[in-house]
Amino acid sequence: MNSLHTERSPLHVIVAGGGIAGLCLAQALRASGLSVHVHERDESPEIRGQGYRLGIKETGARALRECLPADLHRLCRAAAIRTATHMIFTDERLRPKFQRPIPPAPDGEDAPFGVNRLTLREILLTGLEDVVRFGSALDHYEPLPDGRVRAVFADGSHAVGDLLVGADGTRSAVRRQLVPDAVVDELDWAVWGRTPITAALLDRVPPELVDSFNRVIAPDGTAFSVATCRTAEPPSRAAARLAPRARLTDLPGYFSWMVATPAGGERPSAPEELHRLAARTVESWHPAPGEIVAAADVPGTFGVPITSARPVKPWDEPAVTLLGDAIHTMSPGRGDGANVALQHAALLARLLAGRSSLAEAKREYETRMLRDGFAAVELSRRAPFVPSRTTR
């Protein structure tokens, strides 16, 4: 029952979670001729349009190149956000503590780049419209006597496949059932927001905070950082030029910012309250962070716990596995989370397409994924998201 080429051929994979890793996996599986369906709890891809920026390193860029059709891979790079030109850490008055120029990224298909999360998700969805079902939250799974698995969804529907891949994030329903003793620690908490870039605002923001990798750190451990997110050309124009089948949302330039609020303080949930908390945190600092926060898109403000998974032992379930944050969520201190997830999506697709035995492919994937994934988690734990704050 573990052959990839049985009477039920091709292998059918159910992916729970239509985020970056799950969609990357689906693209690669489909390109290899394997059958895949993706079930995503969000009602639509636009739900995650808060202006969140992803930094794609060489490992992530290589995985995208391996998994995506050539036109979509070219579009990824064309829709990239301009790279930072300098790194700077300052105190709350913007007095530099450390600074250096960032060398230009090397040329090449696997060079690092930044991208808006919504843009990347729209690219990854292209060509998968018939296999992605939104508003479909996994409730639980049921192992079947023939070695397959039944995925049962919150609306009462179900699907049967040869392999269920839990790519459903830090609060994974698949992990909760598969590895019930798994522990995810909360290391910190922060408020994220997006501020549209206008000519007037850009004139007032000091150069230390524009096109830089930065961190503003106050003596009490509170912190602020801001990424300048501007593309070389509108994403829709890049799509028309390179991949006309893709439909991308144009995103005017914006500042994507983070405020690490006082430890142990309030944690509101409403965007308006989160925005007020962020503004209060930086109100006595240099005026620039306060100006950026004040001009934010208030409804797009959201709170994010900074989490880190503890290692788990291998599991014994022949038709279920995990991918990305669903198994090894990590602090963003090193910017490795998305890159490790993309790398493992490419690995799983490669093994499933190239091996005659599902059990063998799954075993090798899990061995390498657990080893490398939790090594990355440990490195991220050693680089706390807020450098002046100890993990707790």
Per-residue model confidence (pLDDT) at position 225: 95
The pLDDT of residue 359 is 95
* Residue ranges of domains in the chain: 12-381
Q: Which residues contact 88 (CB under 8 A, 6 or more apart)?
A: 96, 98, 99, 208, 212, 213, 214, 215
Q: Where are the beta strands (DSSP E) in the chain?
A: 12-16, 35-40, 53-56, 86-91, 96-101, 113-116, 132-134, 138-143, 149-153, 158-161, 163-166, 184-196, 212-217, 223-229, 254-260, 302-309, 320-322
- Would the CA dihedral through 10, 13, 14, 19 be positive or negative? negative
The mean pLDDT value for 228-232 works out to: 93
Please, are residues 336 and 350 in contact by the beta-carbon 8 Å criterion? no
Mean pLDDT across 110-130: 94
How many whole angstroms separate alpha carbon 360 and alpha carbon 355?
7
Model confidence over 253-270: pLDDT tens digits? 999 999 999 877 889 999
Residue 391 pLDDT level (bands cut at 50, 70, 90): very low
Report the pLDDT value the prediction gives residue 48, as an integer from 0 to 100: 54
The CATH number of 12-381 is 3.50.50.60
The confidence score (pLDDT) of residue 385 equals 61
Does 162 have pLDDT greater than 50? yes
pLDDT tens column, 349-380: 999 998 779 999 999 999 999 999 999 999 99
Find residue 152's DSSP bridge partners. 140, 158
CB–CB of 163/319 below 8 Å?
yes
Please state, rounded to an integer, the average pLDDT across all residues of the chain.
Answer: 92
How much is the average pLDDT of 111-133? 95
- The residue among 390 and 243 whose pLDDT is bigger is 243
Q: Is the pLDDT of residue 182 over 50?
A: yes
pTM > 0.85: yes or no = yes
Task: Provide the residue count of the chain.
Answer: 392
Indicate if the pLDDT at residue 177 is higher than 60: yes
Q: Are 322 and 175 in contact (CB under 8 A)?
A: yes
Say what the pLDDT of residue 266 is. 85
Rounded Cα gap, residues 194 and 230, in angstroms:
13
